[in-house]
Amino acid sequence: MSYFNAAMAARARQLVSLYPKARSALVPLCHLAQEQDGWLRPEAMEEIAELVGVTPAEVRGTASFYDMLHTEPVGRYVVSICTNIACLLDGAAELLDHASERLGVPVGGTTADGVFTLEEAECLADCDHPPCVQVNHRFVRTTTADAFDRLIDELAAGGRTEEIPPHGTLVRIRRSGGLRVPPDEIARERAQRAQGDG
Amino acid sequence: MAEPQAGPPGTVTFTLDGRRVTGREGELVISAAERAGVYIPRFCYHPRLAPVGMCRMCLVEVVGPRGATLQPACIATVEEGGEIVTDSPKVKKAQDGILEFLLINHPLDCPVCDKGGECPLQDQTLAYGPGESRFVEEKRHFAKPIALSELVLLDRERCIQCGRCTRFAEEVAGEAQIDFAGRGERLEVAMFPTRPFTSYFSGNTVQICPVGALTATPYRFTARPWDLDQVESTCTTCAVGCRVAVQSSANRLTRLLGLDSEPVNHSWLCDKGRFAYEAVNGDEVRAGPAAADGRPVTLGSSHPRGAFAGEVIETASKVGRVTEPMVRAGDRHVRAGWSRALAEAARRLGEVRAAHGPEAIAVLGGGRLTNEGAYAWTKLAKAVLGTDSVDAQLGDGLPAELVLALPRATIDETCSAPVVVLIGGDVREELPVLFLRLRRAVLDGRTRIVEVSPRSTALTQYAAVSLRVRPGDVPAVARILAGQPGPLPSHPAGPACSPEQLAQARALVEAAGGEAGSSVVVAYGRSSLAEDPSFDAAAVSTLAVAWPGARFLPLLRRGNVHGALDMGMAPGILPGRTSLEGGRAWFVEHWGSVPRARGKAATEVLQSAAEGGPGSVRALVLVGCDPLQDFPDAALAARALAGAEVVVAVAGHPSPALDHADVVLPVAVAHERPGTTTNIEGRVTRLGQKLVPPGLAWPDWTIATALADELGYDLAIGSVTEIAEEIERVAPAYRGFSPGYLDQVSGHDGLVVPLGTADAPPVAPIDPMATPGIGQVEQQGAPPRAGLTETVERELLAALHPEPAGEGAPAPMRRPAVEPVALPPPDHYSLRLVSTRRLYDRSSAVVGSPSLEPLVPPARALANPSELARLGVQDGERVRVTSPRGQVVLEAGADAGVPKGVLVVEFNLAEPAGAPNAASALIDATVPVNDVRLETL
Amino acid sequence: MPLTDAPRIVTARLSYPDSYTIERFLETGGYQALRKALTMTPAEVAAEVDAASLLGRGGAGFPAGRKWSMLKPDPVTYLVVNGDESEPATFKDHLLIERDPNQILEGVIISAYALQVTQAFIYVRGEFALGLERMEQAVNDAYHHGALGRNIFSSGFSLDVVVHPGAGAYICGDETALLESLEGKRGFPRIKPPYYPAVIGLYGQPTVVNNVETMANIPWIVANGGKAFAALGGGRSCGTRMFALSGHVNRPGAYEVEMVKVTFRDLIYDPQLGAGVRGGRDLLAFIPGGASSPWFGPEHLDLPLGQDEVGQAGSMLGSGSVVVMDSTTCPVRAAWRITRFFARESCGQCTPCREGSGWLERILYRIENGGGREQDLDLLLDVCDNISPGVHWPPEQTTICPLGPSIPPSIASSLGRFRDDFLVHIKDGGCPHG
Ligand SMILES: Cc1cc2nc3c(=O)[nH]c(=O)nc-3n(C[C@H](O)[C@H](O)[C@H](O)COP(=O)(O)O)c2cc1C
Ligand code: SF4
Ligand code: FES
């Protein structure tokens, strides 16, 4: 069994090692699996279960709690439009309707070519640029129907890949600093400090 | 009654609805109130699970420094001087509100719901709920029931998200195969699509589900709760002795529910114990109109469980049961009435005895009998027939003289011993609920386990040290644990456990301290059926000598085997944990006669019957056992049955050995006769009778008395009560024990014999919400002791410390010296065979239960991956395994938990139709160890 | 800074286009406060923060200094920073994370030193992909700069910081749900008692949880002294604070202003801040502190932006977000959308929150879309009462976390303020606002 490819597997091991308890890496590993495949495949959940020492049912149960983790395939671009209060006051519902028409899918749907998935989002914390739109969790600040159409055209034509990687890729910066201070070292340090105090 | 003033230490006094009451320090309001007679409604709280405070049904007003606030009684703890209000309008409104919330999305399908009639949601709606629904929106919908496993179905629309099932799976069973998925309104219980809920304990989730969301396929649609009638009893599927409520409808068992017994099962059951009642019904199952494919479904065939909506047909001759006395006529059996069958049996046995002496008769089996039945059969065998060749263990046990002589530990003592040394097989497979208890004890930090076993087990991950051993290694390991360093038997692949591990284990035992091992409990069973029992016995013996303060918990697993041994069903012993010699005078006085000399154990019996010749066993009486299935060495059993001149079988279920029987006598099985049973710790509990035995079947003890009559001897016991009284009089370990005590003082917890060795802890009242559907047991079974005042309770308990036995009573047994047989050295070409047990095997309880039978796994040849690699065998490849006894073709499996040099073939598993039990085809029970060769096809 | 001459404490760097880089950070005084802190004893640093009277910026407004002093002594303790910002219309942490991650990190390192914690986690909302990258970069830069890892700036103090991504669940902003989430579980808030993080927190160890903006204030406090911070603002509300202004205003945005000295009117109408209601329309109402706060009307405009002042007036500053609704706004629709948010974000543990939120949302939806019945208004309030008895302010909490009781206030206040609007919806069979 090995779901993660070689490069991802190394990153998976690093993720697990960052935390005092392996299970903490569960969500980061789900993100990693989405980076590899765009969504969270059953095989991925089984491997993550093994990596963090829980059952696959627990991985599925936990992952399904979170909106960003998809246990069904999604498009290369997940377009999220916020319709929460601030955006609602500025035409979010109308933009969402427009998006649905433009992409030809209902909210939650994926285009037949598998390029776009449309989602209605809760507040994305960019309320001074309403209605707020994200593509693959990058703020695109596309607030009008026209601008939205241009964005879709651009993405469909393969543009803006620098700024917007395929769905699933969240953090492209690799951790290069030190690793976790081993717990016994912490204990030693504390003991020393306690002695110094006393 | 005077109001309690400041309570004794460890208690707090608080105000509950204006009354002053006492609770225990740190106790939850919900349970303190319950003990004070105030029942706070609840859904998610379960006394055996950690509280989560999710359902919010138990909100009560807690008066604190900032005024009264609504808090969940399952989270809040009682405080000295605190004030709790459970009956204010605010509380009532909050509880009504919760019920309304729970009902808005709950389907109103009570008439077709299994839980209808015993549903806490339904009941509480009647008790507290609003009349009319204010919810006019559309209800939440989920696809109809989904199968979580072969045994458990989930209807998500009915779920109220209390998390009892998911918490049970994770917290108690340690197998989180189900978990919450989703969030908020869409929160649902779910499994991983390709990983069903296969836990051996899955049925408990059905038991504790407070609504009809989880249902069990065997019970589904079989009965309406108000038609059920129930009795308190004990599960005898294994020897843990879990307390149960047995429910039936129209003389058919419909359901078993676990009773909450503090010293034993904490309300849990394993699925085998819970569902094997199907074998008692012994019906043919026929698909009803709703069956998926419309084909009739018959016994033993696997039907699509999730879709099962079949009807159960009670056939005239129950296909899974023996219902009529029969005698042999040529090569077939013909129906005979009881008198003819008994006369025939008595005549044939009498002839053998007359011609060859009493030693030519042997009685095998007894683990399925009640204590009273076992006593009657022992008396018949030892006093009437005059043979001591009686054995309730079929070559799968340990010497009775050793087991009965060792100081016994209770389960509670084991679970609180600083160190438990565990020798034997996989507790989860053999004594499942004991596994739950041990796992919890380890997780709660109460005990640490040193495991000594031939392969890794379900407990290995919880053990502080787990020592792998090969067949024959155990005595040497025991010596090291006992502080007598020495080498392990040599093996080309090196020792199966490292010196460091051994040292670590020894250090643990030493660190636990306690004089002479008094902080250690040794839990011991048979490591493997493919090696001589003297290895395990010698190891245990070594520890008993080294640690005179240690106590011992025997892990013999078969039904009521401990009751049978206590009643004398083994060679060399007499009832009440007495040796044949030590009890000779006493029993001659009471019985008239006892056997001249120590008889043969099962293996010797079968060997003797197979070989024939002068002085050999010529008549076999099988009491609820089948050597062809139960004895580790099938070839020997077959030769014995063929060689015996007379075979009399007392049987409840059909089995291959009956083909050899000259007389077949139908016997009542579990739930069909009253009596008592004794579990691994020596706890005696009641067996309730719920059914009338089928056809002409008789209770076990009546068959013994009737046969004695035919032989011209009056056993002088005319009822179960009379037998119990005689046991109390003559069996030393049962001195002072009257089954009446079970009603008076022990509630549903039973009592440990000898009386006075372990006090019964107080019994909690039955919480109707902990096990919905069990609420009425107290009216039907024993009254819970919680109702007694403390003084009365003390007086009654004092009666449980009987006067020492008088003049002439047998002395307690002395531990026999046990030496292991010589261990032949391994060769480089063979693997040493280990045969362990699985929960679901081809025992009649499983095979007779249509719901369980499909769960029996196939036998495989399991070896260490490196061993398979060395032999060039792929995981999953079919291989031939050859022993001097025979050869079988099996699928090979890689298992890192098996030591190098060892091959594991589990006992009595599914085989291609008609094929023999693979393990017993390989095992020679007369040699110290069995070496086998493995080759690719 | 408009209105008062208070310094910019947390947004000083934001006007630089490269404000998020370590270079700009160091050029503008970055890590000076940390160096200073390391010359002090941990207790001295904590004393400065306590003297500053810095109220937590995550919503509950608990004094940071007091929270720190409650951390139970134990060989293993943790500091967890809450950057899950998901409260509707709140977007100040987003800005700080994306535009000045180093400042947050400096605050974290100083705080960890003061608390003598050797492992800290920064939990960043998963939807902030860019913010996550910048935070991760800041951590890498800090390691390479010697500000993180073993023996920071040769002081003998060691600290490791892990940036942990969320994955989309508002409830993980609740500190105990956040800890569950950080442990790799679903974000179910924990029961209090006993799970007060300062006693039983991450992995069962004592833990301090602080908001991102709270952390961002720490370097300034250490550099300038707690007293200087406490001299700003008024009453218990000291220093400056970021307010996220959105909705029908001309200049939506996050503004750092001195607390108490500035009023809602200033925030909404000052030309350098909100610059007035859009189109010159009338103000209908405004939400002063997040989705769970009761709504305010024009009569509240002159209330100062202070925690106690707003609290006494019957609402809260909460997460520091102000949503302005002009006269064209349909209050039913607004209340419905807020309720739907809670229904979608309830974790599902507590019956009243799980079932009640969806029920309320459906009733409001019906009213907005023409299916309302007169009895629905009483029903709304009674269902609210079953979630939070009394439906008063502050709400009584009978659930595990405050999310459930957060549902009634917006319904009760919109219904209280605009009952006629609701009735028109019911009578006319739908929304008159089109
Ligand atoms: C439902 C809910 C959501 C919350 N969301 C956030 C959040 O997004 N960010 C935040 O810092 N605090 C949030 N909080 C408050 C935190 O529980 C906690 O009080 C805060 O992080 C403490 O930091 P502070 O003392 O620095 O304010 C939320 C609380 C609740 C009940
Ligand atoms: S109040 Fe709501 S969000 Fe909070 S714990 Fe309960 S169900 Fe979850
Ligand atoms: S919240 Fe106490 S029983 Fe459910």
Give residue limits of the domains in chain A.
Answer: 6-71, 77-156
Chains touching C, CB cut-off 8 Å, 3+ pairs:
A, B
Q: Report residue A190's pLDDT band, with 50, 70 and 90 as the boundaries.
A: low
Residue C5 lies in a domain: no
For residue B211, what are the CA distances in angstroms to B95, B116, B214, B500, B685? 17, 9, 8, 52, 31
Q: How far is C226 from chain A (nearest CA, A)?
A: 25
Q: Is A130 on the interface with C (CB under 8 A)?
A: yes
Q: Closest Cα to residue B489, out of B832, B829, B237, B761?
A: B832
What's the pLDDT at A189? 67
C400 lines ligand 2 (CB under 6 A): yes
Final residue of a domain: which of C275, C310, C326? C326
Helix (H) or strand (E) holding B934: strand B931-936
Do C76 and C199 have their domain in common? Answer: yes
Cα dihedral C402, C407, C413, C415 in deg (nearest 10): -160
Indicate if C207 and C238 belong to the same structural domain. no
| pTM for the predicted model, two decimal places | 0.94
Give chain B's residues under pLDDT 50: 1-4, 285-317, 776-788
Write out the two tokens for C261: 């000295």
Ligand number nearest to the C-alpha of C405: 2
Domain harbouring C61, CATH code: 3.40.50.11540
Q: From CA B799, how far away is CA B791, in angstroms rounded?
A: 13
Residue numbers of A between 39 and 98 with CB closer than 8 Å to C: 52, 54, 61-63, 65-69, 80, 83-86, 88-90
Atom 6, ligand 2: residue with shortest CA distance: C350
b/e sequence B615-642, b meaning 16+ C-beta within 10 Å? ebbbbbbbbbbbbbbbbbbbbbbbbbbe
Radius of gyration, alpha carbons of chain C:
22
Q: Which of residues 19-38 of A touch C (CB under 8 A)?
A: 19-28, 30-31
Q: Which secondary-structure segment (H or E) carries C369?
A: none
C290 CA → ligand 2 middle, Å: 17
pLDDT of the residue at B284 = 58
Q: Do B181 and A65 touch (CB under 8 A)?
A: yes
Query: What residue ranges define each of the domains in chain B, with the CATH number in brackets?
Result: 11-102 (3.10.20.740), 289-397+562-798 (3.40.50.740), 400-555 (3.40.228.10), 831-936 (2.40.40.20)
Q: Distances in Å between the alpha carbon of A122 and those of A77, A140, B732, C228?
A: 18, 16, 75, 39
- Greater confidence (B301 vs A66) lies with A66
What would the CATH number be for the domain defined by A77-156? Answer: 3.40.30.10
* Euclidean distance between CA atoms B777 and C277, whole angstroms: 71
Q: Contact B533/B401 with Cβ under 8 angstroms?
A: no
- On whether any CB of chain B is under 8 Å from the CB of A108, the answer is no
CB contacts of B140 in chain C (<8 Å) are: 358
- Do C21 and C147 fall into the same domain? yes
Q: Is the pLDDT of residue A178 over 90?
A: no
Residue at C1 is within a domain: no
Contact A65 B192 (CB under 8 A): no
The residue whose CB lies within 8 Å of the most ligand 1 atoms, and thus the one to mutate among C78, C87, C182, C406, is C87
Instruction: Tell me the helix, strand and coil percentages in chain A, rounded to 5.
Output: 45, 10, 45
Closest in B71, B97, B161 to C386, CB measured: B97
pLDDT of residue B7: 67
What's the average model confidence in pLDDT over C274-278?
Answer: 97
pLDDT at B764: 64
β-partners of residue C255 are: C243
pLDDT of residue B875: 96
**Cβ(B58) to ligand 3 under 6 A?**
yes
Cβ distance of A60 and B175 shorter than 8 Å: no
Confidence of residue A194 (pLDDT cuts 50, 70, 90): low
Distance CA C416, CA C418 (A): 6
Question: E strands along B380-507, which residues?
Answer: 390-391, 419-423, 448-453, 465-468
Residue C279 confidence (pLDDT) = 95
Is the minimum CB–CB distance between B156 and chain C shorter than 8 Å?
A: no
Residues with CB under 6 A from ligand 1: C 56-60, 62, 64, 67, 82, 84-87, 171, 173-175, 209-211, 214, 401-403
Q: Does any CB of chain C come closer than 8 Å to the CB of residue B121?
A: no
Examine the domain organization and report whether C226 and C242 are in the same domain: no
Q: Which residue of B49, B57, B121 sits with most ligand 3 atoms within 8 Å of its CB, as the best mutation to test the pocket? A: B57
With respect to residue C6, please indicate whether it lies within any of the assigned structural domains.
no
Count of helices and strands (H, E) across chain C: 17, 10
Residues of B in contact with A61 (CB under 8 A): 179-181, 190
What number does the ligand 1 atom closest to the CA of C125 have? 8
Q: Is B44 in the pocket of ligand 3 (CB under 6 A)?
A: yes
Ligand 3 contacts CB of residue B318 (under 6 A): no
What mean pLDDT is predicted for residues C104-126? 97
| Lateral strand order in the sheet of B67-72 | B19-24, B11-16, B83-85, B59-64, B67-72
Domain count of the fold of chain C? 3
Q: How far is B101 from chain C (nearest CA, A)?
A: 6
Same domain membership, residue C355 and residue C315: no
Q: Which residues of A touch C144 (CB under 8 A)?
A: 176-177
Q: Please check whether residues C181 and C250 belong to one and the same domain.
A: no
Chain C CB contacts of A89 under 8 Å are 246-248, 323, 325, 329, 334
- Asked, for residue C4, whether it belongs to a domain, the answer is no
Residue in chain C lying closest to A16 (CA): C184
- Whether residue C298 has pLDDT greater than 60: yes
If asked whether residues C293 and C345 sit together in one domain, one would say no
Listed residues C230, C257, C280: the one ending a domain: C230
Tell me, yes or no, if the two domains A6-71 and A77-156 fold the same way. Answer: no
Domain ranges, residue C138: 12-230
Q: Sort out which chain C residues have CB atoms less than 8 A from B100's CB and list them.
A: 386
Q: Clarify whether residues C214 and C237 are in a common domain.
A: no
Looking at the structure, do residues C420 and C302 belong to the same domain, yes or no?
no
Q: What is the CATH number of the domain that holds C350?
A: 1.20.1440.230
Same domain? C188 vs C259: no
**pLDDT digits over B82-129, tens only?**
999 999 999 999 999 999 999 999 988 888 888 887 888 887 777 655
C82 inside domain: yes
Confirm if C99 and C60 have CB atoms less than 8 A apart.
Answer: no
C318 shares a domain with C341: no
| DSSP-assigned states of every residue in B602-670 | HHHHHHHHHH-STT---EEEEES--HHHHSS-HHHHHHHHHH-SEEEEEESS--GGGGG-SEEEEB--T
For residue A139, the surrounding DSSP H or E stretch is strand A138-139
CA of C348 vs chain B CAs: smallest distance (Å): 4
Residue C49 has pLDDT above 80, yes or no: yes
The 10s digit of each residue's pLDDT in C310-332 is 999 999 999 999 999 999 999 99
**Distance from the CA of C353 to the center of ligand 2, in angstroms?**
6
Residues of B within 8 A of C399 (CB-CB) are 56
Structure tokens at B606: 């079968």
Nearest Cα residue in chain C from B106: C355
Q: Given an 8 Å threshold on Cβ–Cβ distance, is C366 in contact with B137? A: yes
Instruction: Answer yes or no: do C33 and C160 share one domain.
Output: yes
By the 10 Å C-beta count (0-12 exposed, 13-18 middle, 19+ buried), C194 is classed as exposed
CB of C405 closer than 6 angstroms to any ligand 2 atom:
no
Question: CATH number of the domain at A6-71, out of 3.30.2270.10, 1.10.10.1590, 1.20.1250.20, 3.90.1200.10?
Answer: 1.10.10.1590
